[in-house]
Structure 1
């Protein structure tokens, strides 16, 4: 379980394997001694299991396996050496819940349609940015204005919704400490809809007989 609050940005060091299974090595500034084999780390959204790790410079490297389901449903298949990814360690009981409850089980990919810089006298640290995003048709019904959504492992508040498109607003801090600063129209994002919305819809379907 995660919160969608990014704690580091890592980059892909190596990718091996073909077909339905890839071994991915990620470099990050975590302390390798604090990462257990079998630990879960949200990597750009998907929850992936650490299968190897070790120290590297002032940080570490760790390896994860991405299987067929992850490759089919997420943007992991498009990762290349050098790709930067948002990282979050799994939530511990007693930790501050700064975002919203995130499982790391990505539902699909969404696409950025537009990026708009917003400046003003109340924004001394640089431009905030509004992103207009298109969700897959089967997931759009789970996205609500002022609700929560997890995109590339980042917990964000939905500003507006129109059909399959919705918008989110990112402040300069988020743009600087995550991969969002480099996001552009056309980019694919890992999308996880709000957990409560998913279960509410399923209960409504069951109550309606289908």
Structure 2
């Protein structure tokens, strides 16, 4: 489990295909605090650490990314030199600062527009129709591993929807969202509570 509160931005130092895709990710963590077999959310994707090294503040860890994970996430996210939002798994007693995040991407959205509003930015993201029923104003959404609050939702004729976020300067500075551009793909995970509520409603129907 995760919270969607990003603790660092990592860089893919190496990405090679050998069966599954193996990525080596450079990060500012302390390798002594990274356990082999531990889970780290990488731009919203829960991945297992299979190797590690480096020094405190200049560490690296390796993960294997299955073809299923690659197919269900933004493809260019796994290229060498790419940047990833990182969050280690939640520990018992940690503060739940965002919302409950599983690290299982539900779909890929795309950035429709970004415009400044005061010191913040208003971002509009298009979501596929499979996710539209789970999005609501003031609800939670995970975008590339970042816990965010939905401001507005507008439904489209094809069943898809667009939702609006407000990105404050701090979030833009400490995550990859500050480098987003129109047309970029983003990994989306809906609120787990919304998933269960939708399931319960469908059974009642």
Quickly name the TM-score band, shorter chain normalised: over 0.9
Alignment counterpart, residue 137 of structure 1, candidates 109, 115, 129: 129
> What does the per-residue CA deviation read over 1:107-159, in whole Å, with 9 as the maximum and x for residues that have no partner?
0111000001112xxxxxxx211100000111111010000000000000000
Q: How does 1:159-170 map to 2 (within 5 A)?
A: 159-163=151-155, 164-170=161-167
Structure 1 segments, 4+ long, off by >3 Å, are none
Partners of 1:7 and 1:142 in 2: CA distance = 26
Q: Is 1:70–1:76's contact at 8 Å kept on the other side of the alignment?
A: no
Partners of 1:160 and 1:79 in 2: CA distance = 30
Q: How many residues end up aligned between the 2 structures?
A: 200
Partners of 2:79 and 2:176 in 1: CA distance = 15
Q: Is 2:39–2:46's contact at 8 Å kept on the other side of the alignment?
A: yes
CA gap of 1:78–1:153, structure 2 versus 1, over 3 A, is: closer
Partners of 1:21 and 1:205 in 2: CA distance = 36
Name the counterpart of 1:24.
23
CA gap of 1:76–1:56, structure 2 versus 1, over 3 A, is: farther
Partners of 1:79 and 1:155 in 2: CA distance = 21
Name the counterpart of 1:195.
192
**Unpaired segments of 5 or more residues in structure 1?**
120-126
Partners of 1:99 and 1:174 in 2: CA distance = 12
Partners of 1:131 and 1:56 in 2: CA distance = 37
Name the counterpart of 1:123.
none
Q: Is 1:131–1:169's contact at 8 Å kept on the other side of the alignment?
A: yes
Deviation at 1:58, TM superposition (A): 3.2
**Unpaired segments of 5 or more residues in structure 2?**
156-160
Query: Does residue 206 in structure 1 map to residue 203 in structure 2?
Result: yes
Partners of 1:31 and 1:23 in 2: CA distance = 21
Q: How does 1:46-57 map to 2 (within 5 A)?
A: 46-56=45-55
Name the counterpart of 1:108.
107
Partners of 1:54 and 1:82 in 2: CA distance = 18
TM-score for the superposition, normalised by structure 1: 0.92
Deviation at 1:79, TM superposition (A): 2.3
Q: CA RMSD in A?
A: 1.2
Name the counterpart of 1:157.
149
Q: Is 2:40–2:86's contact at 8 Å kept on the other side of the alignment?
A: yes
> What does the per-residue CA deviation read over 1:54-99, in whole Å, with 9 as the maximum and x for residues that have no partner?
1157321100011021011111554211111100010011111000
Q: Secondary structure of the residue that 1:141 maps to in structure 2? A: helix
